[in-house]
Amino acid sequence: MERYVFGVDVGGTTVKLGLFRADGSRIRKWEIPTRTENHGDGVLADIREALLSEMRERKILPEQILGAGVGLPGPVTPDGVVNRCVNLGWGRRDVPAELSALLDGIPVRAGNDANVAALGEARFGAGSRYQSMVMITLGTGVGGGIILDGKIVPGSHGAAGEIGHLPIWDGAKTPCSCGNTGCLEQIGSATGLVRRARELLEETDLPSTLRSLGSFTAKDVMDRHGQGDAVADAVIAEAVDRLGCGMALVSCVVDPEVFVIGGGVSRAGEWLIRDLEQSFRRQAFHACRETGVVAASLGSEAGLWGAAALVLP
C-alpha cells in the first residue's frame, strides 16, 4: 500500500498545498486562496476540502496518509498551538487538534512558517548535507529558523529563531513593529533598507541616483550596490555589518554547521552571500569562523517542502 503525506503552507494571501510520497518525492502542488474574512474562520475548512477532494480524486484512503504538516504565519509552541496569526485574523488555535478532527483523525503537525521553511531547506535544500543549520530569511522582515539534528527548535514561547528581533542596531530612530527599538530587521530587511536609504537621502548630501526617484524599493537600493551610489553603498554596508553581527551572535548560542540565506532580498546576487560571509567571519568567535554561509535553494517552495518534512518518516 503506497503511503503519502500532505504539506500545507498557509500564507496571508494563498495556501500552498502539496501531495508527497512517503519517500519525500512530490506528486502535485497547488494553491487555494486564504479566506481571511470572519477572523479567518474558513481557512481550516478550506484546507480540509482541498485535501479530501485530492484524496477522492486519486482514490487515496485515509489510512494511506501518514500525516499533514502545516506551516503557519505566527509563533507556534512546541505542541503546535498558535497564539496569534495577525495575517489570518486568528487568535489562539490548536491547529493539530482542529485540523486532525476535520480530517477524520489524520495526524497533523504544525510549525511557524519561517521554521518550517528552514526545515525544508535542511531536509531537501541547501542544508541537506549538514547536521545543524540556521536559516535566515531576508524579506519584508528578517526571519529565521534553527534546525538541530534534523528538527526544528521551536522555543518555549514559539519564539526561537526570531533573528529579526535581535536588538543589535543602535541606529534605529523609530520603533520596530514588535514594539522594541533597534531590532536587526529594522536595517536588515527590505523595509529596513528602504527606510534607511530615505533617512540618508534626507539627512545627508551623499550623492545618489535614488534622489531622482519618487519612491523606490529595496531592489532599487540593491541594484545600486557597488555602482558608485553613496547612499546605496552606505545602507547596504550597514545592513551587511549588522546581519553579520547577528550571525556571529547566533553562532555563540547554537554554533550551527551552516547558515542558509533565503528570502527575496537574498536574490540580489552572489555578492550578498559573499559580503555576509565576510561580515560574519570578521565578527565571529574564533571556533565558529569556518561555519558555512550558503544561499537557499528552494526559493518560495521551502515552506511547502518543510511542511511535508514535519510528517515524513
At which residue does the C-alpha cell 496569526 appear? Answer: 85
| Interface region with a copy of itself, contact rule CB under 8 A, candidates 116-124, 195-203, 221-229, 253-261 | 253-261
131 binds a copy of itself (CB under 8 A): yes
Q: How far apart are CA 213 and CA 195, in angstroms?
A: 14
Find the binder of a copy of itself among 257, 264, 273, 297 (CB under 8 A): 257
CB of residue 254 to a copy of itself, shortest distance in Å: 5
Nearer to a copy of itself (CB atom), residue 156 or residue 215:
156
Q: Could you say whether residue 81 binds a copy of itself (CB under 8 A)?
A: no
Binds a copy of itself (CB under 8 A): choice among 42, 155, 264, 269: 155
Local structure of residue 207 (DSSP, 8 states): -
Q: Binding of a copy of itself at residue 132 (CB under 8 A)? A: yes
Where residue 89 falls (left for φ over 0; alpha for ψ -120 to 50; beta otherwise) is: left
Cβ–Cβ under 8 Å, residues 104 and 48: no
| Residue 108 amino acid letter | V
Comparing CB distances to a copy of itself, the nearer of 18 and 141 is 141
Please report the beta strands in the chain, taking only residues with DSSP state E, as ranges in sequence order: 4-10, 14-21, 26-33, 65-72, 81-82, 93-94, 108-112, 132-138, 142-148, 151-152, 258-262, 292-295
250 binds a copy of itself (CB under 8 A): yes
* DSSP-based three-state secondary structure for 36: coil
Beta-sheet strand order (sheet of 4-10)? 26-33, 14-21, 4-10, 65-72, 108-112
38-57 residues near a copy of itself, rule: CB under 8 A: none
CA angle 90, 177, 296 (to 5 degrees): 85
Selected range binding a copy of itself among 58-66, 117-125, 210-218, 245-253, rule: CB under 8 A: 245-253
Stretch near a copy of itself under the rule CB under 8 A, chosen from 3-11, 149-157, 212-220, 301-309: 149-157
**Length of the chain in terms of residues written:** 313
Binding mask 167-206 for a copy of itself (x = CB under 8 A): xx---------xxx--------------------------
User: Does residue number 92 form part of the binding site for a copy of itself (CB under 8 A)?
Assistant: no
If binding is defined by CB under 8 A, does position 153 make contact with a copy of itself? Answer: yes
Number of residues near a copy of itself (by CB under 8 A): 42
Closest approach of a copy of itself to the CB of residue 281, in Å: 11
End-to-end CA distance of the chain: 15
Handedness of CA 101, 103, 105, 106 (dihedral sign): negative
Is 166 an interacting residue with respect to a copy of itself (CB under 8 A)? yes
- Amino acid identity for residue 304 in this structure: L
Q: Which of 7, 71, 256, 306 binds a copy of itself (CB under 8 A)?
A: 256
According to the binding rule CB under 8 A, does residue 268 interact with a copy of itself?
A: no
> Where along the sequence are the contacts to a copy of itself (CB under 8 A)?
75, 78, 131-132, 146, 148, 153-163, 165-168, 178-180, 245, 248-257, 283, 285-288, 290-291
